[in-house]
Structure 1
């Protein structure tokens, strides 16, 4: 089968190489081809997928679509780990031409995380077919989010081919991510364990963030919220190199909370996210302590292991293996926090936590509570009210599958309105063109008369005239557009752009230059000159750790750049990249609150 790499082993839950006839659940790809083919017929189709994009008989979605006489597949898009799943976590993934089909394969985890206008020039409708694992720090759902942004920006249709949440759709755990703890892995405000399918997430984001995407979800047949993956009868395909089994996928949302500390999650072993520990941990003592804590659904066995790569490569690590007795009983976030708590208590002098833990857990208060030895129960109580509110007032409005929680009703399509750009920021005195798009409850595009849009702006930060936002006073507020029965809102920040720091990292394929900002901006430009690049940020100012009179940053060990000079001139921040060649290929992947320039080697 096309793109089923040998490194991605597949195992049926029935223990057979084929699962034909055993599945209780029909995934979205099969429902599309059997019942919803009119959604793609006669259109140019782009597919975002990886090796998990298979039907119940392990046939690749790529093959199924490419070989179908009524489907015109024109482009492929790959997330982290790539189309073939052969890239390690965090590795830069290149675009290329597929030898078998001749189709372009565009990377969404390399120079850009969002499909560009050029990538979508031969695409009318984007399909998303990837198996998620139910955690808010697993990157695939954010690839979906970026695809939705591109679909809104470039006016493309987007269809989600839904798949099961393998850890079930009933439990919701962890703090709801705060707005100042957002990164690629956590771009939207979700709790650690969200209990939703990718189709439900897309539906929620389209409305809650006023994206205005022409969105359709091909629902599964037979899936129920109280199912775990083993209940579906579908074959399990490892979702990434370090999530080889259903057990790993289940535990990930809990034991991933050991990351960004001096503990290891078992990467580099045959049981990642099941084996956890550190070289300074006594495995027997840890197993005894964890079993005393009587955590429902799991027990612990002392274990010693030597990672082959990653953290503590080649070192003997003491710890435990987490064994699941009853997955339906496990509170995964509690499991992760108890493991952190017990190992910190065993050797507090050796325990460390990086600043990135805030982005991992999604809450600024939790890292301090952990380091201050607060009880796990008190930590979990700290987010309970906010989580309960999010569940009842947000999440439960967008559920597509039963059994529905008490008080919740099945989601009914109600149409949507969106305001572009999705990241709306401006400096006092700056103007930004706004675009409004929308679709009715039947998915038909609204024919919007701009003169009939009613605009309002809160908090005296500016006004909208003739579809243009005019920023006046510094502050945060909302821009609201009303068109008939539809309303959309967009958060807006009016402030000067502060460049707070300039950092760099040298990777095998590229040198990455990072400009840390006080907010997300998209109005910068890069001017190419002989042996130089000029980054210009209108209304940009020098702040943070940088010299407010301007200065230079020396770039060590890069084969392509020697230094960066920066200064402020005519209401503009200007950074000059001093290159080691006359020209260079570069990319600007999107990040929140920073500008990133990748200079290719």
Structure 2
């Protein structure tokens, strides 16, 4: 049986007695019995000074890149760590003045650009040198702790979707990432990780026996999390990533795509672990709202061999070859960054976008990040807690 950091903390809360406590959490912060952490702590006599909520809000009621302004009552102050500018990603420094211990308990999805762990990084920077203990209540990486995917980011492309020096799929837990970030940035911080009990790196989320609670509005299932490290790249294209449907990130499309032509192009690459099904869909909101989009649905038939990032790069390259006039890399402000296109921020540099625009062969594209993967697999082992 897997026990999360929260469940283990609740077995002995003596270290919290008499302390001023703040909690960074959302609706995924639950016990094995699905009791919210703030309620479970209150039952132990632990009163929270305030709760900090990440993007999407405490109960994940808001869509992506939407400022959170209203939160349900929880018995203590709620402070949003997401708004309409970079400055909104951190609270006023005075809100840390009366805090002795800061708890972090949010389910991550295992991708560099998922913003919750980037919120953790910013919090670590904010309390650098302060007399505050940061306690990570660790949770599983739902993709397991073995496989990594994608390139390392160029530090010049740092953004709210790319703070950590890790590949896109990083195979680390929040607690491990916190140790890595403290070491990398030389942060002076009192860091404690309450590690998982019973979790092994070979486990994906389905093997943990824990309940899956969607950590954000467009992350309804663990299968969504599996494809997300690649399919999120479509946020940087004029291609619907399936938002506004019941299966976001599992299918994609646009009015100008002919599904069978695209499937034929991708099938020639013989990508492992995935089958593409031609489809049409009509998003109820977001890109191409109420328009019929042609595209493909991803059926992951072998999670162990499936590589989400390679798949997304392959389909982006195929779209560039088939629809050079229609496909567009979006250059609007993305996650408060107006310097680089969204696709570049997600990839961690502009090199892949340029190579795709030059119609470089897929094998050349894929080879461009393989050295990064190999180097990180070796380097990250010193931060393993499991």
TM-score (norm 1): 0.60
Matched length = 373
Gap runs ≥5 in structure 1: 1-23, 402-601
How much has 1:100 moved relative to structure 2? Answer: 4.4
Is the aligned partner of 1:327 residue 2:319?
no
Helix, strand or coil for the counterpart of 1:329?
Answer: coil
User: 1:241 offset after TM fit, Å?
Assistant: 0.5
1:168-567 map, 5 Å? 168-354=144-330, 355-393=341-379, 395-401=380-386
Q: Deviations over 1:546-587 (max 9, x none)?
A: xxxxxxxxxxxxxxxxxxxxxxxxxxxxxxxxxxxxxxxxxx
Identify the match of residue 64 of structure 2 among 65, 74, 89: 89
SS in structure 2 of the partner of residue 105 of structure 1? strand
Gaps of 5+ in 2: 331-340
Structure 2 match to 1:76 = 51
8 Å CA contact 1:81, 1:93 repeated in 2? yes
- What SS does the corresponding residue of 1:31 show, helix, strand or coil? helix
The equivalent of 1:137 in structure 2 is: 113
Q: Which residue of 2 aligns with 1:99?
A: 73
Deviation digits for residues 103-123 of structure 1 (CA, Å, limit 9, x no counterpart): 110111026212332222332
So what's the TM-score if we normalise by structure 2?
Answer: 0.93
Which residue matches 2:34?
58
Report the Cα distance in structure 2 between the residues aligned to 1:43 and 1:346, rounded to whole angstroms: 61
List aligned pairs for 1:85-164, cutoff 5 A.
85-94=60-69, 99-101=73-75, 103-110=76-83, 112-164=88-140
How many Å separate the matches in 2 of 1:263 and 1:95? 31
Which of 19, 39, 43 lines up with 2:15 in the alignment? Answer: 39
Partner Cα separation in structure 2 for residue 34 and residue 294 of structure 1: 50
Provide the secondary structure at the position in 2 that maps to 1:112: helix
* Structure number with higher relative contact order (C-alpha < 8 Å, ≥ 6 residues apart): 2
Q: CA deviation at 1:95?
A: 6.6
Residues 95 and 104, structure 1, Cα contact 8 Å, conserved in 2: no
Q: Per-residue deviation at 1:347? A: 1.6
Question: Is the contact made by 2:224 and 2:249 (CA closer than 8 Å) also made in structure 1?
Answer: yes
Q: Is this contact kept in 2: 1:78–1:106, CA < 8 A?
A: yes
Measure, in 2, the Cα distance between the counterparts of 1:229 and 1:256. 20
Q: Give secondary structure in 2 for the equivalent of 1:381.
A: helix
CA apart distance, 1:198? 0.4
CA distance in 2, matches of 1:153, 1:105: 25
Distance between the aligned counterparts of 1:108 and 1:357, measured in 2? 24
1:239 shift after superposition: 1.0
* 2: CA distance, partners of 1:140 / 1:241: 13
Deviations 1:347-404 (A, max 9, x none): 22111113232111102211100111112221121222233223323x2210111xxx
SS at match of 2:277: strand
Q: How big is each residue's C-alpha offset from its partner over 1:76-122, in whole Å with a ceiling of 9 and x where there is no partner? A: 110000112111111111376x6341x11011102621233222233
What CA distance in whole angstroms lies between the structure 2 residues aligned with 1:371 and 1:335? 17
Match of 1:471 in 2: none
**Contact in 1 for aligned 2:130/2:189 (Cα 8 Å):** no
Q: Equivalents in 1 of 2:129, 2:89: separation in Å?
A: 14
Aligned-pair CA distance for 1:55: 1.4
> Does structure 2 conserve the Cα–Cα contact (< 8 Å) formed by 1:116 and 1:150?
no
Deviation of 1:155 (Å):
2.6
- Structure 1 residue 144 displacement after superposition: 0.6
**d(CA) in 1 for partners of 2:368 and 2:254?**
28
For 1:260 and 1:85, the matched residues in 2 are separated by 22
Please state which structure has a larger fraction of its residues in helix.
2
Alpha carbon RMSD of aligned pairs, Å?
1.6
8 Å Cα contact 2:101-2:134 kept in structure 1: yes
**Aligned partners of 2:129 and 2:187 also within 8 Å:** no
Larger radius of gyration: 1
Whole-Å Cα distance in 2 between the matches of residues 56 and 333 of structure 1?
Answer: 32
